[in-house]
Structure 1
Amino acid sequence: MGTIHPLEAQAYFERKYGFVEWVKRYSPMDELLFTVLSQNTTDLNSAKAFQNLINAFGTPEGIARQSVQSIANQIRVAGLGNIKSVRIKKILAEIKRQVGSYDISFLSDIGTENAKKWLRSLDGVGPKTAAVVLCFAFGMPVMAVDTHVYRVSKRLGWIDSKISVEKAHDELESIIAPENRYQLHVYLITHGRKICKAIKPKCEECILVKKCPSSLIRS
């Protein structure tokens, strides 16, 4: 069975889940902090940890003044608190060193590829974190790949089953048009959570069942 083209899949998803419109989530700096906290945890836990940080310290400047231990105490709910607190301190220090402040809004003026490279140069910021910040804070046409996007894309045959999640970002961008990346990112996450689950996918309920090369249902 052949695979379905991303644009065709998007049309199916839109009929199933409705049209997705881009909405800015946080300021660029807050989005970066939130996304670092979201690494290897759930959205609910990362949201709690982020709110704890803001409630306790107020701003990136306030967070930067704290000790690693003080930050770790506020973000334990997100897991890996001792690691993420060090990461946050290093990121804030490097941004202050390079920019002179904690404002990264300048990324909107240097182009998508340069913005990616700049973010990825920060210790603790990989392809996913960079893509999420650029997508949700700036509305840039990048493809953020989380566990759901990664799994569903492999099952649909859009990326090789053995490709790393890091390399999947560039691979998916090579086959998905810029104007479709945000919508497909959201749709693939939604579909992965509701239907194309890691264990026991609900192929019998999938709108792509007849076009998916990994379908467990054969006609």
Structure 2
Amino acid sequence: MQRSRKRKQINSSLKPFRTTASCRSHPAEDPYSDHPRPTFEECRSVRDDLLSLHGFPQEFVKYRERRLQMGLRESQILPKGGECGEKESVLDGLIRTVLSQNTTEVNSERAFGNLKCAFPTWEQVLAAESKGVEDAIRCGGLAPTKSSCIKNLLSCLLQKKGNLCMEYLRELSIEEIKAELSHFKGIGPKTVACVLMFQLQKDDFPVDTHVSTVNVVVSMVATLQDIKKTYLHLNQRIPDELKFDLNCLLYTHGKACKRCSNRNDGGLKKETGDGHCPLLAYRKHQAAEK
């Protein structure tokens, strides 16, 4: 009875929302079409269980607020002096995501801040020597690789569009955005999916190590061998209105719960809550079915 009451409170405080473009239009074939999970009920239940455990992750609140406001007029979304502040540009978000690859959030945010401090405009980044860009982002790791990716992106964008702005992507469909971004060297599926979900407020479900590991634990996917297949399967199975919340919560849980990670972290990860992981129930359910 107590669990039902809590579930009802969660559902009333975190209502599903939809955005202007739907992933249901994705023509991609499901590589695990014979794997029936996750179901709609399972997705919603996992979302609610993780929300009860962690609360909604603070780092993603600003993005969720923007999604909730998409149906309002621009003057209502960004009122003068309003709380939401200035909307992050698509190009800023894309480069921020590039810098987040293979490093911690703290280091990637520091690298992005250093880059913007050293070169306030993207035109200045493009004009700068590669060594200067590398030095600015070195704390984020893989500085030569990321510097090359960023400068190539800016160069191609300027050649293609005549300016360093990617706001035109907001008017495109999900498949058109994927096709557009695939032209830029070093911009992979995960980066594209993150830009879709966070900067463009589209219904997509990025899959990284944290998310894919947790999904295997709760039997949402058949295998962890191919993250691309995992991405395609989950985007077919997870309802659009749950993708954003579920992805943010699975990402947060994957970092916090050592029971849902196959990696040896030397004891750095802590047990969730009182030591009980709510996702173990889904694992037991699968075992009972076999």
TM-score (norm 2): 0.68
Q: Give the secondary-structure state (helix, strand or coil) at the position aligned to 1:212.
A: helix
Q: Does 1:47 align with 2:109?
A: yes
Identity within the alignment, %: 30
Structure 1 unaligned blocks of 5 or more? none
| Aligned with residue 131 of structure 2, among 69, 94, 102 | 69
1:189-200 to structure 2, matched below 5 A, reads 189-195=251-257, 196-197=260-261, 198-199=263-264
Q: Give the secondary-structure state (helix, strand or coil) at the position aligned to 2:196.
A: helix
d(CA) in 1 for partners of 2:285, 2:150: 39
Instruction: Name 1:210's counterpart in structure 2.
Output: 281
Deviations 1:31-80 (A, max 9, x none): 11111111111111110100000000002112111121111111110111
Query: Cα distance 1:139–1:78, how it changes in 2: closer, same or farther (>3 A)?
Result: same
Amino acid at match of 1:7: R
Query: Cα distance 1:206–1:90, how it changes in 2: closer, same or farther (>3 A)?
Result: same
Give the deviation of 1:208 after TM superposition: 2.1
Q: Does 1:187 align with 2:224?
A: no
Paired residues of 1:155 and 1:214 also in contact (CA < 8 A)? no
Q: Does 1:17 align with 2:79?
A: no
Give the deviation of 1:213 after TM superposition: 4.8
Paired residues of 1:131 and 1:143 also in contact (CA < 8 A)? yes
Paired residues of 1:3 and 1:156 also in contact (CA < 8 A)? no
Paired residues of 2:119 and 2:125 also in contact (CA < 8 A)? yes
Instruction: Name 2:25's counterpart in structure 1.
Output: none
Paired residues of 2:219 and 2:286 also in contact (CA < 8 A)? no
Q: Give the secondary-structure state (helix, strand or coil) at the position aligned to 1:211.
A: helix
Structure 2 unaligned blocks of 5 or more? 1-35, 67-86
CA RMSD of aligned residues (A): 2.4
Q: Does 1:176 align with 2:238?
A: yes
1:76-95 to structure 2, matched below 5 A, reads 76-95=138-157
1:85-164 to structure 2, matched below 5 A, reads 85-164=147-226
Amino acid at match of 2:180: W
Query: Cα distance 1:209–1:134, how it changes in 2: closer, same or farther (>3 A)?
Result: same
d(CA) in 2 for partners of 1:133, 1:182: 12
